[in-house]
Structure 1
Amino acid sequence: MKNSSTSSISEKKLQTGVHRLLSEPSKIYTTASGKRLQVLSPGRLNVHEGPDFLDIALLLQGNVIVADAEFHVKSSEWNVHNHSVDENYKSVVLHIVFDNDVKLSLPFETLIMNHDEVRKASEDTSFEINIPDVFSIEELQQFALIRLLRKTSDAKKYVNQHGLDSGFQMLSGEFLNKYFNRRKRPVYTSERLEQLLQILPSSHVFKLLKELSEGAELHIPDMMQQLIKTKITDEGSHLRRELVFNSVLPLALCLANEESRINLFLWYWSTPALHSYGILKRRFKDFPQNFIWQQQGMLEYIRNYGSKTVVISDVIKDYGFAEVLDFYYLGGSPYKKYPFEEE
């Protein structure tokens, strides 16, 4: 939706409002077709030709999709602008509108948003927080997603190669080894961490993962809260919390059915941080650490990219998540194709 007319000025403000509202990753939407939608990252606002939002990350019916989105006031504008025959728009998976005046039979979902809410968001100066120059809030959300998918992909490989029992222990052992080595003054001896590792296969943690793998109907928020709160042996809450986020949650995502996976992602994006990390506060002093995903995004950024500029879609492609995770799609919808893509 790009043009230079006077009327486009207000539309660009509305795009900003849409982008801001979509920047809340714990909010659940329902598409026009009735599908459950969670925007894990709103993507980048596009000021050039092509879709309005690039590299938007969605959780749609339990599938993670990274592609593009387009905004129009009315759904019929898609046809007016001939987007269906423009290959710049072939990766659009979400059409955001105020008025769904025409039902389009195309490979994307339609999300109807409230005009007044979007207008209010576009004028709300509270969104204009001071963010470090190295990246923006939507990129932070992308890095938080990349970190979780990277760990989930690793967990899936362990399970595929070694089975659930051994895979879980090997994955946890790798994390505990890194946990021990990254600390100048380790709180735990290697013997205590080894004891924790040996107890894991007979613990309540593994029992819950086993139930999840067997398709048991579990109340995910209660399950995750139990994992966070209940001691495995004599470990402290900080270590247990890190174990959950680095080993248990990724493995749970591998094992979960569609409904449980949706709730696991929702839990990840809505769980508050226990405390602030000093290293992150020094590096990103103007950015909040209110939620776990914010900290995870910062950690992932520091892990590989320092202060370099990166293109998120290229980073995601490099990891090859689609080759490992059966619920991950890059660049298009798993449900339908454009007419020019049909075989």
Structure 2
Amino acid sequence: MPTPKRQSKQAISRIGSTKRRRSSIERVQIDRALTEPVIVIPSPVFEKKNAEQLVFDKPTAIPRLPVSWYCPAIDRAAPPKRSIVRLLTREEEVVLFHQYNFARMKLQSLQDKISKSKAPKDTDIDALIRWHEVSLECRDHIVECNLALVLAMAKRSWATGEYADLVAEGNVALLRAIDRFNCELGFKFSTYACRALTTAFNRFGRKQMKHKDNVPFEYDPGREPIYTNHDDGIVSDEYVQAIREALRSEDAQLTEVEKDVLRYRFGLFAGQNPPKLTLAKAGTMLGISKERVRQVQIRALLKIRQVLELSLPLDLLAG
């Protein structure tokens, strides 16, 4: 099993099911790993018996490139040198995305297992931290190789506003594209990412134009802003139906535990006027602690938000 650089010595030590005290750093890592929404892009390689060996035991390592040149706050006139920036080849992309999604698959399985357990084993907690760190290492590697693509697309965008804000919007879109990219389809990631970045920049530009329409003057402390939108807070049945469809479909990849938590906490799958239970009561119904319910709820809502951001119009998401 791979060992990421950021992994602590306590997290990689193998122990039995005996409980031990966790450091504050480990507790933060565990909470992040349990609450992070995980969407896995499957691959036929993952179904083989020696899947982990096939995915991680590669003859040649993919080098990490320096990112000292990266400074989005400065609108550079010239692009960075090719000697320090290059896109991944198709073969390198397949390797990294297989590793990333395999680690995410393991992480998702452990999240579900630990969420169902009243007293999770230390070995499961250690594996959770380990696979979470492996997935972060793979994602960071892919991001570092595509930072120049974000800067190049930001320069071509028609959207107005601060250049650094536009790049930040592109970086968020890049992370989402990494989660959704399917390397089994035969396309390069840069092709998929360019479309995702264009969509994000267009959304950013429309948001900036909407802001200018709402506040059509320079800032004046002695004057209240004039808002022209009088339909705030009105959500049509179309949007409500879209939210319900996202919950009932497989797009969000909600586990059974996540669905049960949402049902008890928000009554999403019940009849009219369903009861909304507290964290403690929902935990009692599911046989887990209220802290575990909180972690599962955060993870499930983030998954749903990611799905909705891909399907709902800008006006609803921007508020």
Q: Same fold per TM (> 0.5)?
A: no
TM-score by structure 1 length? 0.24
